[in-house]
A and B are shown apart, each in its own frame.
Chain A
Amino acid sequence: MLLKLEEVTKRFGGLVAVNSVSLEIDEGEKVGIVGPNGSGKTTLYNVISGVYAPDGGRIFFEGKEITNLPAHERTKLGIARTFQVPRPFGSATVRENVAIGAMFGRANAGVDEALEMADRYLEMVGIYELREKEAKLLTPLEKKLMELARALAMKPKLLLLDELLAGMNPQDINRILDLINKVKEEENIATIAMVEHLMHAITKFAERVVVMHQGSKLIEGPTMEVLNHPKVVEVYLGEKLKIG
């Protein structure tokens, strides 16, 4: 087992953003995480990646407890993520941004090697020609692609994608999904979790789905089974359920 959450809770004042969630992700899995707005998906990522310490519960990575480990040490162990709202290092170039991932992620590359890796991953996500540009000058879509390249360059064991595909057109979505699948095989990224609202992307990508609702895990299981479950349909009632 790669990642294991035991009754993890995260509160913001009186608001319970993540409520006693237990979750296991195996090595090699492709997991989709869905749920309405505000159901706690991003907070769950923040707790896993170490942005927030949980208020309760325990987190294990490769069998080792990481509940109180600082974020940078978790990253070294092989956890990488993208941000729902991209967070580029604005004044650095696109290439430098990706190189920073390669240097300080699990890849732990030296400067020269990291810059070479950056070029390779930028080529892969399709924004190589932007490499000398200041990251803050990118469009939102380009920033997302840069974040993907940066996360991949870290050579993680667990890759957490937070609404990476939101705002992309169908061709881009398919291209990125194919890319992620390809990289997963070739680069040996053990496991990918994907938070998405785009149900057709989830159905295309995920083997297993976890549904979040008001901070709690509502249900989990094989993708199609879960997405057609009456409880899930009920939660999404009133929301546009976009099965492509």
Chain B
Amino acid sequence: MRNYTPLVTLLLIYAVMIAIGQGIQGMWQPIMLVIFYIAVGQALNIFLGMTGYVNFGYVALLGVGAYGMAVALGYYTDLGLIPALTLGFILAILLAFIVSMVVGGIALRLRGAYFAIATIGVNEGIKYLILGGKIWGGSSGIVLSGILRKAYGAETMRFLSTVFADAGLIVVAILSGVITMYILNSRLGYGLIALREDEDAAKVMGINVRRYKQIAFVISCILAGLIGATAWTLKLTYVFPQDVFAINYTVEAIVIVMLGGAGTLLGPVVGGLIYALLKYYLTIAFPGMQLLILAPLLIIVILLFPEGVVGYLAKAARGTRFEKFVR
């Protein structure tokens, strides 16, 4: 019936990753890169994986989340560290919520490919709004390092951009997984799977498909905003519109979800691991050529596992004692 056991697998993977990162010299940065990609996949999966709708504006939500945190720390520094940080998380969530309510409210009236096309403009739209409107520093972005050092001291700033930023991202990544597991076991999850498979039949079965899509969209977007706030603003201590509204992250997130298994709990974890490690080590081994090698490798994996690696494993595990650990 309801099964939360796959969370054990999920937490175990995080424990191993963190142990490797802490225990082996030089492994922390690659591990954090992996966790960033896992988080990005996990948050997108809640919408893409559960509904089958492609959100091409995804990275814009990381972007507005990053700005939410940057605005709080940069413009409300005087509130003090803890209040400013708290405000940063609130703003990240709030901005992601507002953008996703508006975009979802309009674009989710459209079906399938039309929705995807409608969301392409979202990212560019917000980017040019900030650039053209000279909002939040316009093209010069918000640079926090000087402000933070002056207000809270160099020691605190370093703590914020290393330990706190990394811990924050790990919490958001795990939280995304826990939320996914909860959704998969709830009426919401059943409703989403139904509408992903056949939206018209789902309506006739009594599912308010517009509302369900919107809920999944908003949850996915808010988690994306929190990733932007931690992995970008806190970690890098600056935000530039050209950096945070870069569409390649959207494409990478989609690849991770498909690679790992859309709509599964562990898919983004496996997808993120494969993608980030390949990218990281190919960049070191074949600098400049990494995409040329990465793309065909990814295509091979997707051809071998059309339902994603975890989709495949979950089926293979059926009837064995591992069944309840894989989802």
Contact = CB atoms under 8 A, between A and B. Distances in A.
B194 A49 contact: no
Contacts of B111: none
Given A72-B203, A89-B194, A104-B206, 17 more contacts: A49-B204, A51-B200, A51-B204, A71-B203, A87-B200, A87-B201, A89-B197, A92-B193, A92-B197, A100-B207, A103-B187, A103-B190, A103-B191, A104-B205, A104-B207, A105-B206, A106-B206
Interface string A90-118: 11100010011101111000111011000
Contact of B193 (A87, A91, A111): A91
A157 interface: no
Contact-residue bracket for chain A = 20 to 34
B206 A110 contact: no
A128 interface: no
Interface string A111-136: 11011000000000000000010000
A42 interface: no
A76 interface: yes
B205 A75 contact: yes
B5 interface: no
Contacts of B207: 72, 100, 104
B280 to A, nearest CB: 32
Given A51-B200, A111-B185, A112-B1, A96 B190 contact: yes
A50 B201 contact: no
Interface in B197-256: 197-198, 200-209
A150 interface: yes
A99 B209 CA distance: 17
Nearest to B307: A91
Given A51-B204, A89-B201, A154-B205, A111 B187 contact: yes
5 contacts: A89-B194, A104-B187, A111-B190, A112-B1, A112-B2
A64 B85 CA distance: 53
B186 interface: yes
Contacts of B205: 72, 75, 100-101, 104-105, 150, 154
